Amino acid sequence: PPIQVKLTETAGRGVFASRKIGAGDVILTEFPVISHPSPTNMGKVCWWCLKRFSLITKPFLQLESSWMAYCSQECTDLAKGCMDLENNRHWKEFHDYCRESNLRFPLLVKRLACMVATNMASFDVLDILYPPKTLTRCGIDSASTKCILFLRFFPSKRVRFSFDRLEVLSDSWYAGALSRIHLNTFRVETIATEITNLEAALVDSITGDDVVGSAVYILPSMFNHSCDANVNIYWRENAFVQLKALQPIEPGKELCITYIDASMGCEARRALLQDAYGFHCKCPRCLDND
């Protein structure tokens, strides 16, 4: 990619152009480290890549659990390591709680814990991301904290974990994972391409179910925010993300995406960013009170 990660003066790490980038150029593509369907889309999208199912695109494999289905042999193979662990009826209580409380971060922590326990991922795979903050400063609520406790003590009693892997899943590991996930998760909104999916997308946009799931990436997570972003982030049919330049970018210029709906007013944007990410935005738009 035509980018390099460097320290910024005020925002920690940032991503900068290493050469001239043209408007519309694809800067980066990446598959997530972890992903998970949203609470309302379980069974409606691929359990691994988040591709929507429809009358045309039907599941390649549907497991006994009503929530787990895969769109292809490739996704089935990639998920095979932790498939048996996640396909356990005892997770229903956890999924129901996340759906009723509208929680998505604990679902990602659960996926990561299953991957660590089955040797699909290293316990420190997210350590490269921004250092975790306290749960309070991250804005993580009591419901999510309750999920940490559920995950911490649930597996050892009801699900077979490798004992040596279970030892690394400590209270501090769950807290650190949830903190990093809270600060670095992207809401995956895929583009509907089939007629049946277009109709479903219209309904979902009204009901709020247009976000098919959540995902955590490494390089995309290092892009800082600007309310006047020069890079757009989007998804086509699954969690494979693309970042494209919105305008010509000169070498050495920082590349920024927007974390929120940038069409809101200045004070609303700043308040949301402070609450969700813990920083006071000082991008050019906010400094101009635009």
Q: What is the pLDDT of residue 144?
A: 63
Q: What is the pLDDT of residue 131?
A: 58
Given a contact cutoff of 8 angstroms between Cβ atoms, the answer to whether 13 and 249 are in contact is: no
Q: What is the pLDDT of residue 239?
A: 96
* Rounded distance between C-alpha atoms, residue 201 and residue 197, angstroms: 6
- Distances in whole angstroms, Cα of residue 18 to Cα of each of 5, 15, 21, 213: 9, 9, 9, 32
Task: Provide the token pair at 224.
Answer: 């800082």
Given a contact cutoff of 8 angstroms between Cβ atoms, the answer to whether 63 and 116 are in contact is: no
* Rounded distance between C-alpha atoms, residue 46 and residue 68, angstroms: 8
* Rounded distance between C-alpha atoms, residue 67 and residue 38, angstroms: 11
Phi, psi of 180, rounded to the nearest 5 degrees: -65, -40
Given a contact cutoff of 8 angstroms between Cβ atoms, the answer to whether 187 and 211 are in contact is: yes
* Rounded distance between C-alpha atoms, residue 49 and residue 68, angstroms: 12
User: Looking at this protein, which amino acid is placed at residue 165?
Assistant: R
Q: What is the pLDDT of residue 112?
A: 93
With a CB cutoff of 8 Å and minimum separation 6, the contacts of 1 are 27, 28, 219
Q: Is 70 helix (H, G, I), strand (E, B) or coil?
A: strand
Extract the residue ranges of the chain whose pLDDT is less than 50. Answer: 134-139, 156, 158, 163, 194-198, 200-208
Given a contact cutoff of 8 angstroms between Cβ atoms, the answer to whether 225 and 258 are in contact is: yes
Given a contact cutoff of 8 angstroms between Cβ atoms, the answer to whether 155 and 110 are in contact is: no
Q: What is the pLDDT of residues 260-274, one digit of tens each?
A: 899 999 999 999 999
Is CATH 2.170.270.10 the classification given to domain 1-31+219-264? yes
Q: What is the pLDDT of residue 119?
A: 87
Q: What is the pLDDT of residue 82?
A: 87
0.75 exceeded by the pTM?
yes
Q: What is the pLDDT of residue 196?
A: 45
76 CB-side CA count, 13 A:
10
* Span(s) in the chain for CATH 2.170.270.10: 1-31+219-264
In terms of Cα–Cα distance, which of 233, 237, 180 is closest to 26?
233
Q: What is the pLDDT of residue 136?
A: 43
Q: What is the pLDDT of residue 159?
A: 52
User: Looking at this protein, which amino acid is placed at residue 33?
Assistant: V
In terms of Cα–Cα distance, which of 90, 91, 94 is closest to 147?
94
Q: What is the pLDDT of residue 161?
A: 53
